[in-house]
Amino acid sequence: MAQAGTVDRILDTAEVLFAQKGFAETSLRAITSKAGVNLAAVNYHFGSKESLVQAVFERFLTPFCAALDAKLDEMEASGVPDTPENILGIMSRLVLGSHPEDPQRAAIFFRLSGQAYSQPQGHLREYLHQQYGAVFRRLQDHMQRAVPDVPPRELFWRVQFSLGATIFTLSGLESLKDISRNDFNMDVTEADITQRLLPFLVGGIKAPVPVI
Amino acid sequence: MAQAGTVDRILDTAEVLFAQKGFAETSLRAITSKAGVNLAAVNYHFGSKESLVQAVFERFLTPFCAALDAKLDEMEASGVPDTPENILGIMSRLVLGSHPEDPQRAAIFFRLSGQAYSQPQGHLREYLHQQYGAVFRRLQDHMQRAVPDVPPRELFWRVQFSLGATIFTLSGLESLKDISRNDFNMDVTEADITQRLLPFLVGGIKAPVPVI
DNA sequence: CATCGTTCAAAACATACGTTTCAAACATAC
DNA sequence: GTATGTTTGAAACGTATGTTTTGAACGATG
C-alpha cells in the first residue's frame, strides 16, 4: 500500500492548485511535479483529470455532509428549536471548524465550491446536487420549519440566494480582503465574514414575502 | 471601416461562447469559425485572447455603468428618496431592460460576471473594480444614506453579499431552472428571480447590526 | 495610375496539454 | 527463491492551443 502516499499527495496538491487557479488552468504536470509524483500517476490512480476533480470534491464533501447530518441529528434530539440563526450557526461552525488544524482549509473549501458552481457547463454542479441533494433538502426542511410563513417555493430561492452570498464572498475573499484593507483599513478573516454574513442571511430569509 | 463587421462579429460570438463555456474552455478557433472570420483576426484586432476578454467586458460594462450613472443623476434630481428598495429597483430594471430586444442578453451578462468574479487569479476582477469602482462607490454611498444605522464597514460587506447572491444565482440559472421545475413544478424567468431577490436583499441590508 | 496603409486569408510555428506505452522496481504469496 | 500482480519512472504520442508569418486583396490618397 505504498501508493496511498501517492494518491493523497496528488489530492492534497490538486485541491490547493484547483482552488488557486481553477480546473482548466491547472495542468496535470503542475499537480504531479509539485506533489513530487510521476505524471502518469494521475491517470493510473484516477483514470482521468475529470475523475481527479470529482475525487477532490468527494474527499471534501462526503465527510462534511456526514458531519452536517450528525449535527442535525443532534439538534433534533436535543430539542433545539428550528430558527434561521440556529441552522445557519450550525453551518458556519461546521465549515470553520471542520479542519481546525488548518485554517486555510475553509478558504479552499469555498474557492472550490465557487469554482464548481460557476462552472458554466454545470455538470459538476449537477453531480454535486444529485450526490449531496439529500442533506441539502434536509437543511431546507429545517429552514422551512424555522420560517413557516415563507412559502416553500420562495424559501427555495432564498436558500439559493444565501448560498450565493456565502460562496461568492468567501470564494473571492483574497481580493475583497485587499479592498477592505485599502478602503477601511480593516483586516478581516473568514470568521469575521461569517459573523457578518449571519445577520444578513437571517434578515433576507425572514424578509416579508411580497404579495404578487 | 469594413473591419467593424469583423470586430463586432468576433465580440458577439465571443461573449456568447464565453458565457456558455467559460474563458479557458473557449478556443479562438471556436470563436472565429463560428463568427465566420479568419483565425488570425482576433490577434490582429485585439492583440491577444486576454485582451479579447477585456474587450468583451468593456463593451458590456461601459454602457451599463453610464446608464447607471444617468439613472442615479435622475434619482438625485427628482428627489426620489434613498431607500434600499429604490436603489435596488433601479439596478434590476437597468439590468433587465438594458437590452429589451434580446432578453437572453441579461443572462449572458450575469454568466459573464460570474465567470469574472470566480476567476481564481482575480486579475479580471481587479481590473473591473478599478475600471468601474467609481460607480460602485457611488452606489454604495446612496445605499449608506438609505441605511444610515448600518456602519459603513458593515454595509460594504452587505453590498458584497448582495452582489454574490445576485450574480451567483442568475449566473447559474439554467441548472436552478431545472431543479425548480422538477421540485416545484415551477417555471421561472430572470424577471421572477429578481422580483424574489429584491425583498431578500432589502431584508439583509436592513438587518439589525449585532453588537460585537 | 501608382502608392501606401489597412484588412483579410492560409499556412506554419512553437508549445502545452492529457493520455498512453513499456520496462523497471516493488511488494506479496506460494 | 521464484512467480505474480501492483505501482512507479521516463519517454513518447497525438492533438489542440495561442500566436506569428507571409502575401494577396482592398480602398483611399497623391
Residue at minimum CA to C1' distance from nucleotide D7? A3
Going by C-alpha positions, the residue among A2, A170, A132, A183 that lies closest to residue B133 is A183
Q: What is the pLDDT of residue A3?
A: 42
The radius of gyration computed from the CA coordinates of chain B, to the nearest angstrom, equals 19
pLDDT surpassing 50 at residue B195: yes
Q: Rounded to whole angstroms, how far apart are CA atoms A74 and A83?
A: 15
Going by C-alpha positions, the residue among A100, A112, A158, A141 that lies closest to residue A16 is A112
- What confidence tens digit (pLDDT) does each residue in B68-123 have? 999 999 999 999 999 999 999 999 999 888 777 777 788 888 889 888 888 766 67
Confidence of residue A4 (pLDDT cuts 50, 70, 90): low
Q: Inter-chain contact B174–A212, Cβ cutoff 8 Å? A: no
Q: Rounded to whole angstroms, how far apart are CA atoms A121 and B105?
A: 18
Q: Is the CB of B2 under 7 A from strand D?
A: yes
CA of B19, closest CA in chain A: separation in Å?
7
Which of the 8 DSSP states describes residue A207? Answer: S
Q: Is the CB of A128 under 7 A from strand D?
A: no
Spacing of B197 CA from D21 C1' in Å: 53
Q: What is the pLDDT of residue A91?
A: 93
- What confidence tens digit (pLDDT) does each residue in A22-42 have? 999 999 999 999 999 999 999
- What confidence tens digit (pLDDT) does each residue in B166-177 have? 998 988 888 888
Q: How many CA atoms lie within 13 A of B115 on its CB side?
A: 26
CA of A3, closest CA in chain B: separation in Å?
31
Q: Inter-chain contact B153–A25, Cβ cutoff 8 Å? A: no
Element (H, E) at B1: none
Residues 193-212, chain A, CB closer than 7 Å to nucleic strand D: none
Burial category of B185 from C-beta neighbours within 10 Å (exposed 0-12, middle 13-18, buried 19 and up): exposed
B195 touches chain A (CB under 8 A): yes
pLDDT surpassing 70 at residue B1: no
pTM, rounded to two decimals: 0.92
- What confidence tens digit (pLDDT) does each residue in B14-72 have? 999 999 999 999 999 999 999 999 999 999 999 999 999 999 999 989 999 999 999 99
Q: What is the pLDDT of residue B99?
A: 77
B153 touches chain A (CB under 8 A): yes
Tell me the one-letter amino acid at A50. Answer: E
Q: Inter-chain contact A120–B121, Cβ cutoff 8 Å? A: no
- What confidence tens digit (pLDDT) does each residue in A153-187 have? 999 999 999 999 999 898 888 888 888 888 888 88
Residues 21-50, chain A, CB closer than 7 Å to nucleic strand D: 37-41, 44-45
Q: Residue B78 to residues A71, A122, B73, B90, B136: CA-CA distances in angstroms? A: 53, 44, 9, 14, 21
A83 grid coordinates: 430558527
Q: Rounded to whole angstroms, how far apart are CA atoms A26 and A28?
A: 7
